[in-house]
Structure 1
Amino acid sequence: MIYLDYQATTPLAPEVAAAMRPWFEEKFANPHSPSTWGREAAAAIEVARGRVEQAIGLAGGRFAFTSGATEAINWAIKGTFEDSLRRKLVTISTEHAAVLDTAEWLEKQDIEVVRLKVGADGLIDLDEALAHIDDKTALVAAMLVNNEIGVMQPVARLAQAAREAGALMLCDAVQGFGRLAIPDGPDLVAVSAHKIHGPKGVGGLWMRSGTEPASQIHGGGQELGMRSGTLSPSLCVGLGEAARLAAERRDADAAHVEKLSQLALATLGQGWTVNGSLTDRYRGNLNVRREGLDGARLISDLRNIAFSLGSACASGSGRPSHVLRAIGLNDRAARSSVRLGFGRYTGEDELVSACRRINEAAIEQAHLPA
């Protein structure tokens, strides 16, 4: 199996697995217990918290562990509006479902939602965005890196505009955290462990001091007094170690991904079009289309290569990607698109082999009866 689905999830780093193992074997104590073992577990969580905060790289805030980025995003959005007299959210039409579905929920609470359109390159019109961010706005929510097509929005400029309007800015940094520097400016930043070679089931929300959203999960208030529920030391330690490794290896990983991207495009050759901006993008996400291709059929034909049609969250729905529709693709063009994701543990030879086989299968498919 050649794995090219890094946007869906990443392989667990060996160092992360080793760091986690003691905490779900012999060191099983509840980190909220006053016992010696409990205090040891709590101390390990604090070390992990510090590593995540260091990897995020923003000053003046605190990181809270959650069950993942979806919970973190829900907390950030719902909690911000619970504490605000303002009744307007500005976001982007190509955001992750965690943002867009929460935005739909807000509209049922009589909150205005502006979904900024994107161009064929997947990027917003900044002037249009600035016109919508006003004194009615409580929150601006934007991805750093799009999970389906890899384009990068102007997060720093949006954060500045939000601040000037007296609003807060939420950055969904899931696909960029550990891979790119998070721009200064966001007040709230959501991250996930399993996108950076950590475990599934843990992520979190970084909150600039004074911008903390209202609690959404009530009980014992175990996490910083703002989120209730017993933390898993093993998962927290796993995220902390994954964040440490990502920060340590960021430059090397970026150079590796850049080379892989060039190899993939060269191997696929002519006949393929990259979806989204060619310049403002994370290179480890390559969403491409070919005229007349049936992407789902291609995946079925190449079962020993793991790649996707787009977001894992929307797979199986039978509907073309909302991101691809937003950049102007019709249903046929959207269904002729596939996403190749690669990173730290992708070998050059295996990527070239996979792309060669993808291209050959696509050409063969074009000559078969419809």
Structure 2
Amino acid sequence: MNNDIIYLDNNSTTPLDPRVLDAMLPYFTTEFGNASSSHNFGINSKKAIESAKQKIAQLIKSDSNELIMTSGATESINIALKGLALHPTNKKKHIITVSTEHNAVLDTCKYLETIGFEVDYLPVNKDGLIDLKDLEAHIKDDTLLVCTMWVNNETGVIQPIFEISELVKRSNALFMTDATQAVGKIEIDVVHNNIDIMCFSSHKIYGARGIGALYLNSKTVGGKNIAPLHHGGGHENGLRSGTLNVPAIVGFGKASEIAIEEMHINSVFISKLCNMLEFELLKIDGAFINGGKTNKLYNTISICIPGLDANVFIGKNKNIAVSNGSACTSALLQPSHVLNALGLTENESLQTLRISIGKMNTESDIYSLLEKIYVECKNGSNLL
């Protein structure tokens, strides 16, 4: 990485691990066969995909035949939500999700509302957690699906997935989780956690952009009750037609393999940097952590710094990459819906920085960011 760049926006996307790039390169050059072709070049590509899917499946403790490769978590979410809702055999019209979900979930649910579905958006408390009794009260006979993000992309808040899934399991509804920020960072066991559907992406675990996965529990979903959104070849068990992105899938497999081997050491290293940064930032008068300091992922800090205009700070410091909220809405100068749901005022939301640390960061990055923030707070040049 360029030594002049201080990249602390790893929840948005991670840099590509050089080992992942090395694994991908042959499939751009000599091993370029279409995995659907019957000749030897195609067979080699198909074998590479099968091997990569086994590694991805190992990361989440599933079977490789339960994975559908997509262009990313957003497409996975759309296939799952729309595919379930629009399947000819589905008679249920009720979906439950959470107000702090990623826009990929929220916008898809809003679309489903326009065509006759009822959606409940559960609130969260000041720590970003849902109330399990509230969830239970909303489940009814007509509930098709409960969809809850595992780790929030803005605050790092971790929902009690096992408890949620156990509750949903007692009903006839399905349970889906967007695990984009969780996979590769914490241990994931889809069987133990009673997951029916799970979505995640490669580029959050130092893999390539443009590739993701959709996990479908073969015992409860398995694609049999999901209508495909793409037609034209029957790829990926008929759920996602289109020529497979062999290099990116191979890279996803390599990134998964590395994550399995290095997850613990990464978590210890990143936690140290995150704790150091959080400790120093909380010395600033009036600063507070959004979503509380417990029940959150070890790499994420969402902090409100009174008087600091996050958008101005980001604009002035061109060599620093931090976020003012979700990367998918960062171009919009408006309060984050996640921070609104936590009860922040408009000013508090606009004074919030999201800092997400990765395995390629250093203590020097942390000190450099702190220096820039201290200077802004001292000068008051960008105070609201």
Q: Confirm or deny a common fold (TM above 0.5).
A: yes
SS of the equivalent of 1:308 reads coil
1:310-335 Cα shifts (integer Å, max 9, x gaps): 11110112221000101001111100
Find 1:16's aligned residue among 20, 26, 29.
Answer: 20
What do you get for the CA RMSD once the two structures are aligned? 1.5
Alignment partner of 2:284 out of 270, 280, 287: 270
1:347 Cα deviation after fit = 0.9
Conservation of the 8 A alpha-carbon contact between 1:173 and 1:182: no
CA spacing shift, 1:99–1:369, aligned 2, 3 Å: closer
Bigger mean CA deviation after superposition, 168-177 or 54-63: 54-63
CA deviation profile, 1:109-128 (whole Å, cap 9, x unmatched): 11110000011111111110
Residue 60 and residue 193 in structure 1: after superposition, are their counterparts in 2 closer, same or farther (change >3 A)? closer
Q: What is the deviation of 1:76?
A: 0.7
2:135 to 125, 129, 141: 129
Q: CA deviation at 1:239?
A: 0.7
Q: Give 1:303's aligned residue.
A: 318
Deviations 1:219-272, CA, capped at 9 Å, x for gaps: 101222321000011010011111111111111111112101111013323332
- Does 1:94 find its partner at 2:96? no
| Pairs aligned (count) | 369
The answer to whether the 8 A contact 1:60-1:208 is kept is no
Other structure's SS at 1:254 match = helix
TM-score normalized with structure 1 length? 0.96
Contact 1:118 1:327 in 2 (8 A): yes
- Take 1:188 and 1:91, find their aligned partners in 2: how far apart are those partners? 14
Unmatched tracts of structure 1, length 5 or more: none
1:224 is aligned to 237
Distance 1:149 1:362 in 2: 22
The one-letter code matched in structure 2 to 1:301 is K
Show CA shifts across 1:160-179 (max 9, x none). Answer: 22221111111100001000
**Alpha carbons 1:256, 1:343 under 8 Å: kept:** no
Letter of the 1:196 counterpart: I
Displacement of 1:59 in angstroms is 5.9
> Does residue 320 in structure 1 map to residue 325 in structure 2?
no
Please report how far the alpha carbon of residue 55 of structure 1 lies from its aligned counterpart in structure 2 after TM superposition.
0.2
* 1:292-323 superposed Cα distances (whole Å, 9 cap, x missing partner): 22111111222211111011110112221000
Verify the 8 A CA contact 2:68 2:213 in the aligned structure 1.
yes
Q: Deviations over 1:123-164 (max 9, x none)?
A: 111110111122211101111100011101111122122221
Match in the other structure for 1:69: 73
User: Which of these residues, 151, 155, 159, is aligned with residue 161 of structure 2?
Assistant: 155
Give distance in 1, aligned partners of 2:58 and 2:178: 17
Report the alpha carbon displacement of residue 20 of structure 1 after superposing the two structures with TM.
0.3
CA, structure 1 residues 49+103, in 2 after alignment: closer, same or farther (shift >3 Å)?
same
In the TM superposition, what are the counterparts of 1:111-130 in structure 2 within 5 Å?
Answer: 111-130=117-136
Corresponding letter in the other structure for 1:264: L
Q: Map of 1:128-207 to 2, 5 A cutoff? A: 128-182=134-188, 184-207=193-216
Conserved 8 A contact 1:61-1:208: no
Match 2:248 to one of 229, 235, 239 = 235
| TM-score normalised by length of structure 2 | 0.93
Structure 1 counterpart of 2:368, from 353, 359, 368: 353
* Letter of the structure 2 residue corresponding to residue 225 of structure 1: G
**Is the Cα–Cα contact under 8 Å of residues 267 and 352 in structure 1 kept in the other structure?**
no
CA distance in 2, matches of 1:176, 1:363: 36
Gaps of at least 5 residues in structure 2 are none
